[in-house]
Structure 1
Amino acid sequence: MKERLLKPSRIALLLALASAPLHQLQAQDAEETAEQSTLITVTATRNPIPAFDYPGQVSVVERETIEDFNPSTLQEVFQAIPGAEFDAGPRRTGDAPSIRGIGGNGVLIFQDGARQSFVSGHDGRFFIDPELVQTLEVVRGPSSALYGSGALGGVIATRTVSASDLLDEGERTFVKLATGYQSVNDEFRIGATAAAQSSDAMWDVLGHLTYRDAGSIKLGSGDTLPADDEITSSLFKVTLRPSDAVELYASYARYQADSSDPQNPQGANIAGAANDLVFRDARNDTAQMGLNFNPASDAIDLNLVGYYSKNGVEEDTVGTSRIADREVETFGLTIDNRSRIGVGDGSSLTFTYGGEYYRDEQTGLDTDTADGTRGGVPDAQTEFLGAFLQAELTLTDGLPGEISIIPGIRWDSFKSSATGEIFTIDDDEFSPKLGVSYKPIPELLLFGNWSRGFRAPSFNEAFADGVHFTIPDLSAAPGPFGPSFVQNLFIGNEALVPEQSESWEAGAGVNFADLITDGDRLTFKASYYDSDVENLIGLDVNIPTGCFVASPFVPSCGTGAAFGNTSQNVNIADAQISGVEAEFNYSSDHFYLRGNFSTIDGVDAATGEFLEGVLSPSVLFLDTGLRLRDGDVRVGTRVTSASDFDEVNDPNQAREGYLVADLYLVIEPETGPLEGFRLDLGIDNIGDADFEVVSAGVSQPGRNVKAALSWSKGF
């Protein structure tokens, strides 16, 4: 039986934190700490390091945690990540992530290293099934020093499952069959995975398929939100290892979601006169080929990745012949290398450097327009070229503890153009960053970072054209067929400049192994951040006063720029955003407790008003459970508590706080006749609470009974 009492050595160590000299604290228990397991981040530095050691905030969610959520969408897993949320509403078709209050083009999304550049006002942009995801990483805070334009809020990176994740030593093949159901939208799921590798491990291959069918969503308010969707997700991967130094790999993933919902499916919207019911076809195709070359040399650890991704949403309006489509294709090539240099006993220096080229191409279609173009969706392209350099210097020689210094800088050049436009948008930017961490003892981390980020104007913002909306001319007497109508038109803006941010962050963390019992582990990491974001891009909508009242003293009503009836993206605001984030995790053989806390504040620097669409309530999330029967059974509960949300300019947008609890049970025998089976049972929102996350009046899903069953086996 494992020891349950607080170990005397641990008590001594905790007391030593307040009293002992630093060099004594460093030496004490260093061996135990070095042996403990930890989560690894690749995205935060492009060089694998423990997530705890990164001088900033990065969350790594592995497959085991994702499976415990038994999620219908990956959005549900983001409960485990502070400062990151989705603001779309109950329907999955509008999934749109934000990090530290910044969303849209201010968040980069990667799938197996391939950029996902599709951004739409209401079509969502997160097209991946949770069954495909092996690891989810979220880097919070500006990351332009490594990833260039768009990382003002941060980076979301998913890595899909590979054969090596499933095959144990000595196994040649692997098979998994899975099914599931949830009551809140009558969703049924079925899926299969197969993997194989050669006896000498020189090649492996994986195939996966998941199908979901779901209907209308039962809300906590008692209402039912109309929805109807079918999702098919597939994945194929192959890896070749012709030598110990070379690995070649290729993959193709497809996400296909066919749904029937309003043209704008976000929030609590339902179909009506101003929001047509459409048959929506959302799709994502992502393919990549890569090379890793890692010979027996500290100077070379090279990755070369070429990729292609195509994201699109087609909407067929029910009852009419209108078809509207938006599609974005991305071609990219990235090369990076790591060179490691020893600089003394216990000290090290790693350089990470490389370059990137990618091109986004967008096409829009609307069969209701004379030329087939779609308003607000120009046929356009943007090209980016970037180069980056980062150093990771760790010093221990002659120091009371360990200091890590991570400076980095990236240069980007970009150029955007659109069909039919006489101007282009082009510029270049430097994005520096500096992170510093200090460990006076192996268990204690103090860190801080400073960074600058930028986001280039998107082609939708720079070259917006076509009809934005149609309004009646109320100043004129109605004719025999009713009032006359005029149109508000999008117009481009060649004067747009990139959004830019400057951010500071400081924090601390602790990381203990064998704290209470042998084999347990506690980590805690918290920080405060402050960001100044300049030249925020927003839509300036102008409607002539003459459209509402006839007067010789005001311009008359009409269509387009001649009458001032336009919508144009402009640099309209500077923002000040600050917040606190914390993550913690305790795990032992029989008990675990993990959770996070986040809060955010933000104002318009010019007006002092709250930043609409940026702020959210303070949120505390806890996930705790027991491991029984040597880990074969886990029973747990998740609790989310949010404060009242009153940082609003319009009192009608204030929301009450909420408390929501989930229960779940996992049965996964490791031995015996049921080995290979896994049963997940759970109830989300067990109190059937009526609560609002997105905005006032948008109720979230009510009580949801969930079940999943899978069988897997390696041969």
Structure 2
Amino acid sequence: MAVRRQAPVVAIRAVGSAVTGVWCLLAALAVAPFSADAETAADDAQRLQPITVTATRNPIDAFSFPGMVTALGRAEIETRQPSSPDDVLKMIPGVEFTGGPRRTGEVPRIRGFEGADVIVTIDGARQNFDSVHDGRFFLDPSLLKRVEVLRGPASSLYGSGGTGGLIAFQTLDAADLLLPGETAGTKVTGGYRSVNSERFSNFTAYSMPLAGVDAVASITSRGSGTIRLGDGNHLRDTDDDILAGLAKASWEFAGHHRFEASATAFRNDAREPNDGQQRFGQEVAANGLVQKDVRSASFSAAYHYDDPTNRYVDFDAVVYRTQFRVDELRLEDVSGGPAGELLRRDVGTLGMRMDNRSRFPVSEATHVTLTYGTEYWRDSQDGGDGGMRMGQPDANANERHGVPDADARFTGIFAQAEIVLPDPFGDESGSLLVIPGARYDSYRISSSNRLGADNNRNELSPKIGVTWLPTDRLMAFANYAHAFRAPTADEIYLTGSHFPLFRGPGELVGFNRFEPNPQLKPQTTRTVEVGAGATFNDVFAKQDQFQIKATHFRVRGNDFIDRAIRQVFPVPRDCVPFVSDQVRVPAGPPNVFRTGCEGAAFSANVPKARLRGTEVDATYDGDGLRVAFGYSTIDGENEETGMKLGRLAPDQFTVDAAVKLPQLDSVVGWRLQLADRFDKVNDPADARAGYAVHDFYFSWRPVQLLAGFGVDLGIDNAFDKAHTRVDTAAVEPGRNFRISAGYALAW
């Protein structure tokens, strides 16, 4: 057992040494002389690099961008047979989901930042739901055609929440599903996953009836039960039934205009603990089971104007409305509350964004693209508050208090330039891409529950990024950025019980309670990032390619918003039940006092914090083989106390290797997730063992005799490895056999 536990540690340390070698190799390549013949240059020109739009709000290839951004297309998403966004994104370096195996509790984390520190959009609409023990957003991956993930500060273009990065989801279009000459089609898909007995079905209809008109509608159903874990136990009370849908239409007219309307909906009826991130045992029994009804809907309408002959106007505008509702109805009379008690949370966002790009050619090879615009959104939260609703008496006396009624308004203006300079250091010195930008934001957060004063601030978020491409094959980049994240309404105003306290079996002595903190300041960060990359063509065969990009970043944070729990464990025998630990109660004799049992959970500003990390992305792509490698490491602490920050991750290495079998219209592959032992903790109980998890998959898409059919097979966690992620109470799912099959008919 000891040998098996050490294997991931040794492997990760070997990877860390290899990463050091990668940096040395990239540095050597950056200064080495380079020559290429005309044929190789022509081959390079034919290869198309992944394009990102979210990183700069202007199309740019991901390799040249001065930072780390990943774009996943529909084919790659389908191959992963995802049942949640975690399945889509878990192989990206620096990105992970915490919260446990239950889908309602999954929370994305980028470079140590999670929750409101990560901006999430669906078709341009912000997803601003925030809850202590629920997920960050709710979306079924069957509706997706593309996702872009920007790792690192994004406030200079996107405002509050851009300290960790950005996840931008895009939903399906009919054009993604139809071949040239086809005008309409339907697709039906079904699937099964053994680890939780999940049954999945999807029906999609799509059409392009007229030139420039695109319409698609899709509906997905999932039902699952108890999850079998890697340690052989079963995570019970995980039943959920999901219904998700998409309706979308677009119209291109008059040559340069495009209008698009999109609506997504998601509903999950789940029977699980009040805290869906819990495992089992006393913690579940204490809080009791709830019937959790999760609903979300997102509506957006977008307009785009782009006339290639008009270099001054390339205009985008989007208006959107998102709505979340999470109801938790207690099913049992337990210490956490009586059966029939309802915890209600409604969160709505109304927003708009407008931006334009103007292009100014300075010379034949030098040009400037200026992107500028404005954004506004308003978040409104309405929650049950112990017989009160919007500050007034509520007839529903069974509502559980704690969720504050709150309102948050954000306004921002931004501008960014992309400057391309040829031969910046003399003849044959390549090209230099310089991207300076800044955004000014103003916000105000208030609560009608009279829990404290309004919270309002103004923030300026400048950024500058530089990429030097000495040749078409090599690049080096650096960037410096400020970012900020306003505190959320829950962080400022949340009250109510967090978890029950027991002094012995069945002896309830109170609750750890949420405490509001209206004085919370916005979290601000300053990030310095440097990196390099290289592309090699015709490595092992004609037309193959190997590409690698690595970065190292350092983040300094002021007023870092961190979670804190004040509670004595085990609960003292002499504490006063149901009294705050901040209260001293006379014990009888003069000058003798006892303190209360009840501690608190609250958000607080860490005056100074720092993070540092390294990421490596590498891909080899040939006619018969595609291999993607990823590596990430991160560490951080409170600069004043030296205590570790609460949202770190172990060193991780990933591999995704796929063998292409064109003669069989198939792909067969293997994925590896390798994590080092996690010991960057203040409490040894938070440490996690290292692990290695292997997945295998097979995809078949016939293109002739059975064209339209598709089959995907897979085995997740093939060797049934028991492993637990950081900040997660439950062991991850065990071995999972999965299958999906579909048929598409188009005409």
What is the TM-score when the length of structure 1 is the normalising length? 0.91
Offset of residue 533 of structure 1? 1.5
Range 130-139 or range 24-33, more displaced: 24-33
Offset of residue 273 of structure 1? 3.6
| 1:265–1:54 CA distance, 2 compared to 1 (3 A) | same
Offset of residue 83 of structure 1? 0.4
Range 141-150 or range 453-462, more displaced: 453-462
State which of 297, 302, 305 in structure 1 corresponds to 2:318: 305
1:583 partner amino acid:
D
State which of 616, 619, 623 in structure 1 corresponds to 2:652: 619
- Cα distance in 2 for residues equivalent to 1:547 and 1:636: 65
2:582 is aligned with 1:544? yes
2:343 partner amino acid:
A
- Cα distance in 1 for residues equivalent to 2:454 and 2:439: 23
Q: How does 1:19-98 map to 2 (within 5 A)?
A: 21=33, 24=35, 29-98=40-109
2:361 partner amino acid:
G
Q: Deviations over 1:356-387 (max 9, x none)?
A: 00000001125678856754421010000000
State which of 196, 202, 208 in structure 1 corresponds to 2:212: 202
Offset of residue 656 of structure 1? 1.8
Partner of 1:354: 373
Is the partner of 1:205 in helix, strand or coil? strand
Q: Contact (CA 8 Å) 1:473, 1:548: kept in 2 or not?
A: no
2:739 is aligned with 1:692? no
- Cα distance in 2 for residues equivalent to 1:531 and 1:19: 28
Partner of 1:657: 690
Is the partner of 2:327 in helix, strand or coil? strand
Q: Contact (CA 8 Å) 1:589, 1:631: kept in 2 or not?
A: no
Is the partner of 2:262 in helix, strand or coil? strand
State which of 225, 231, 239 in structure 2 corresponds to 1:221: 231
| 1:438–1:299 CA distance, 2 compared to 1 (3 A) | same
What is the TM-score when the length of structure 2 is the normalising length? 0.87
Offset of residue 79 of structure 1? 2.4
Range 536-545 or range 592-601, more displaced: 536-545
Partner of 2:557: 533
State which of 160, 164, 167 in structure 1 corresponds to 2:178: 167
| 1:34–1:492 CA distance, 2 compared to 1 (3 A) | same
Is the partner of 1:164 in helix, strand or coil? helix
- Cα distance in 1 for residues equivalent to 2:86 and 2:592: 49
Offset of residue 18 of structure 1? 8.2
- Cα distance in 2 for residues equivalent to 1:70 and 1:700: 18
| 1:187–1:29 CA distance, 2 compared to 1 (3 A) | same
Q: Deviations over 1:74-129 (max 9, x none)?
A: 20122221001111111111011111011111111111110000011111123011
1:70 partner amino acid:
Q
Q: Contact (CA 8 Å) 1:545, 1:555: kept in 2 or not?
A: no
1:589 partner amino acid:
D
Offset of residue 519 of structure 1? 2.6
- Cα distance in 1 for residues equivalent to 2:173 and 2:584: 62
Partner of 1:599: 633
Q: Contact (CA 8 Å) 1:652, 1:696: kept in 2 or not?
A: no
Q: Contact (CA 8 Å) 1:637, 1:662: kept in 2 or not?
A: yes
Give 5+ residue unaligned stretches, structure 1: 1-13, 475-481
Range 69-78 or range 108-117, more displaced: 69-78
2:377 is aligned with 1:336? no
2:644 is aligned with 1:628? no
Offset of residue 274 of structure 1? 1.9
- Cα distance in 1 for residues equivalent to 2:72 and 2:594: 58
Q: Contact (CA 8 Å) 1:515, 1:522: kept in 2 or not?
A: yes
- Cα distance in 1 for residues equivalent to 2:727 and 2:586: 30
Q: How does 1:132-281 map to 2 (within 5 A)?
A: 132-199=143-210, 201-226=211-236, 227-269=238-280, 272-281=284-293
Partner of 2:432: 403
2:469 is aligned with 1:431? no
| 1:696–1:287 CA distance, 2 compared to 1 (3 A) | closer
- Cα distance in 1 for residues equivalent to 2:120 and 2:346: 17
Partner of 1:441: 471
Partner of 2:577: none
Partner of 1:507: 531
Is the partner of 1:462 in helix, strand or coil? helix
- Cα distance in 1 for residues equivalent to 2:200 and 2:508: 50
Range 536-545 or range 633-642, more displaced: 536-545
| 1:567–1:609 CA distance, 2 compared to 1 (3 A) | closer
Offset of residue 28 of structure 1? 8.5
1:300 partner amino acid:
V
Q: Contact (CA 8 Å) 1:289, 1:305: kept in 2 or not?
A: yes
Is the partner of 1:268 in helix, strand or coil? coil
- Cα distance in 2 for residues equivalent to 1:618 and 1:473: 38
| 1:446–1:50 CA distance, 2 compared to 1 (3 A) | same
- Cα distance in 1 for residues equivalent to 2:174 and 2:192: 26
Give the total of aligned pairs: 687
Partner of 1:393: 419
Give 5+ residue unaligned stretches, structure 2: 1-25, 333-338, 567-579
- Cα distance in 1 for residues equivalent to 2:589 and 2:145: 64
Offset of residue 176 of structure 1? 0.8
Range 549-558 or range 432-441, more displaced: 549-558
Q: CA RMSD in A?
A: 2.7
Partner of 1:345: 364
Q: Deviations over 1:296-354 (max 9, x none)?
A: 31111101100000112111111422111112100000001111111222222111110
Range 694-703 or range 78-87, more displaced: 694-703
Q: Contact (CA 8 Å) 2:606, 2:638: kept in 1 or not?
A: no
2:614 partner amino acid:
V
1:291 partner amino acid:
Y
Is the partner of 1:496 in helix, strand or coil? coil
| 1:171–1:473 CA distance, 2 compared to 1 (3 A) | closer
| 1:472–1:632 CA distance, 2 compared to 1 (3 A) | closer
- Cα distance in 2 for residues equivalent to 1:273 and 1:387: 49
- Cα distance in 2 for residues equivalent to 1:527 and 1:698: 32
Offset of residue 590 of structure 1? 0.9
Q: Contact (CA 8 Å) 2:286, 2:500: kept in 1 or not?
A: no
- Cα distance in 2 for residues equivalent to 1:700 and 1:573: 35
Offset of residue 149 of structure 1? 0.6
Q: Contact (CA 8 Å) 1:90, 1:267: kept in 2 or not?
A: no
Offset of residue 463 of structure 1? 2.2
Q: Contact (CA 8 Å) 2:686, 2:726: kept in 1 or not?
A: no
Partner of 2:603: 569
- Cα distance in 1 for residues equivalent to 2:84 and 2:64: 30
Partner of 1:117: 128
Offset of residue 279 of structure 1? 0.7
Q: Contact (CA 8 Å) 2:342, 2:400: kept in 1 or not?
A: no
2:490 is aligned with 1:456? no
| 1:352–1:545 CA distance, 2 compared to 1 (3 A) | same
Q: Contact (CA 8 Å) 1:36, 1:513: kept in 2 or not?
A: no
- Cα distance in 2 for residues equivalent to 1:615 and 1:78: 18
Q: Contact (CA 8 Å) 2:523, 2:558: kept in 1 or not?
A: yes
Partner of 2:8: none
1:688 partner amino acid:
D
- Cα distance in 1 for residues equivalent to 2:587 and 2:431: 71
Is the partner of 1:595 in helix, strand or coil? strand
